[in-house]
Amino acid sequence: MRLRALLESDALGLRLLGGADELDRPVRGVMTTDLRDPSRYLSGGELVLTGLAWRRGPEDSEPFVRILAQAGVAAVGAGEAELGAVPEDLVVACARHRIPLFAVHESVSFAVVTEHVVRQVSGERAGDLAAVVDRHRRMMTSGPAGGGPDVVLDLLGSDLDLRAWVLSATGRLIAGSGVGGPAPAPETCAALAAEHLAAVRAGRRSPHRVVLDGVRYSLFPVDGAGRAPDAERDVRETVLSDWLLAVEADAGEWPEERRDLLQGVTQLISVERDRRDAARTVRRRLAQEVLELVQSGAPPAEIAARLRVAAPVLLPGLGAAPHWQVVVARVEWDGGEVPGGPVAQRLLEEILVDPRTTGPEPSDRMAVAHTGDEAVALVPLPAVAADHDGTGGGLLADELLRSVGEPLTAGLDGDGRLTLGVSAAVHSAEGLRGALEEARHARRVAAARPGRVCAAGHQELASHVLLLPFVPDDVRRAFTARLLDPLQEYDRRHRAELIPTLEAFLDCDGSWTRCAARLHLHVNTLRYRVGRIEQLTGRDLSRLEDKLDFFLALRMS
């Protein structure tokens, strides 16, 4: 029921003291309290009835109302029996926190108000469930395939006043209800996906209830292939690719029938998910064929023929042979008992979806195959000249993981790792084998970095950073200790700042004037410090070889 209905009831005789713009709020229950802090008993949406016994002075109203606002109550009903009139400080506090305030006349008992609210809410819930059961039958006949998940979510909004969205495991918005306002911001979607993945990995029972920025959400898993939870199935096989249903409500206060209904909705949505997954079969087969040809050393003409078949499927209407990029992904779990290849394949398909698109039919302009624990994506690009960084306007490693790092880290949960490598764009079949090796090398560079989710691009293969991660740890430690330990010890004892001086000297390409200006030193002071560095290490900073050794030592330290 809505707050407006309470005000319109002659039997209750309530007077509105503030919040006329908020009368369309739904009321989901009623609570009577005179506690100074009743938050532990509130779940949101209640009409709070209070006799004001908690109020000892005007200063008590603000903290009491603030607690109610944080709990998300619908309104406050203040009894007039104790004080004769509702205090002005309570009116002001409710207005400040946008909580509607009603005055309950001393002739009306809280029991009468409570009975009225409970009767109305219970009757509406029964009507809700009856209506939704009928809608459920209609959805089963037309199904998501008849209009997509948005149709199902619109029914939730119109029949149950529930705002809901379907999200991917990376937080991409797939579908949403058109009822009740805009969808959550991308940052909120990513945070919801992260909360969901963390709850799934922890084995918590769904729905998962979370609060973000003061808004309560309930998260329901949407398992692929119509799967029911299976104790024999390792959750790591699917956790990074399944969808979730996010509902703006606290399912903890729902009757069992409504929870069952939402579970049915997730099953309907899973049909759509499986349909989209099946639609990728042709792309996967094309990618598998091209990958096998490239790895077997097939003639370029044979690979080119297969690419000509793939191009119209991936970029219909392109009209010209595209450039291609290769992206390699690897998902590894501690212990190695879960195959990483299929997981990496499904995850790479999700990551490579054009982030500017939404809906269950995104811009799937890629083909992904897997072999062993590795997934390989063949990504077509429009046939344009390569830009200054050699990507041809294509994919950049850092961009791929910018928005998905948080949820994926939660899904990997301390025992898994995702690493990506991205090649440069190539314009022919002759370059495809080199692009595959380039992407694999870049992925190994990413794997040498710390973190659960890492990526590297082809640009990094032409730099010293390609070599440093593969130097054995004991060699790195011995090399840096031999060059830098004497300087660090000297700095510790004399506060001489030889290490910062060395870094600045190398950054300035050995220019005495520029380095002195950067450090705000006289050139003679700089010469003294550099001489001390050479004396302590036995090196000559006028020699290119010694400069390079210091440069690498600083990078490895």
- pLDDT tens, residue by residue, 356-408: 444 444 456 678 888 888 899 888 876 544 443 444 456 777 777 777 888 88
Query: How much of the chain, in percent, has pLDDT values that exceed 70?
Result: 83
CATH code of the region 281-468: 3.30.70
| CA dihedral (221, 223, 227, 231) positive or negative | negative
pTM: 0.58
pLDDT value, residue 240: 81
Mean pLDDT of the region 518-541: 92
pLDDT tens per residue, range 269-288 = 887 787 777 778 888 888 88
pLDDT, averaged across the chain: 80
pLDDT grade for 256, boundaries at 50, 70 and 90: confident
Listed residue (205, 193, 346) closest to 284, CA to CA: 346
Domain spans of the chain, in order of start: 3-118, 145-279, 281-468, 473-556
- Report the CATH fold assignment for 145-279: Beta-Lactamase (3.30.450)
Alpha carbon distances (Å) from 17 to 31, 430, 454:
19, 78, 56
Once rounded to an integer, what is the mean pLDDT over residues 144-161? Answer: 69
Q: Which of 39-48, 191-200, 224-233 comes out lowest in average pLDDT? A: 224-233
Residue with the bigger pLDDT between 122 and 167: it is 167
Backbone angles phi, psi at 333, to 5 degrees: -110, 145
pLDDT at 356: 43
Per-residue confidence (pLDDT) for residue 145, from 0 to 100: 46
pLDDT digits (tens, 9 = 90+) for 100-140: 999 998 888 888 888 888 777 655 554 554 555 555 555 54
CATH code of the domain made up of 3-118:
3.40.1390.20
Instruction: Write the pLDDT tens digit of every residue in 463-491.
Output: 555 555 556 677 677 778 888 999 999 99
CATH superfamily of the domain spanning 473-556: PucR C-terminal helix-turn-helix domain (1.10.10.2840)
Q: What is the DSSP letter of 420?
A: E
Residues in the chain: 557
For the ranges 142-146, 224-228, 278-282, the one whose mean pLDDT is highest: 278-282
Q: Measure Cα distances from 188 to 165, 406, 555 in Å.
A: 12, 11, 37
Dihedral sign from CA coordinates of 298, 303, 305, 306: positive
- Higher local confidence (pLDDT), 489 or 43: 489
For residue 205, how many other CB atoms are within 10 A of its CB? 7
Cα–Cα distance list, 55 to 21, 49, 63 (Å) = 26, 14, 10
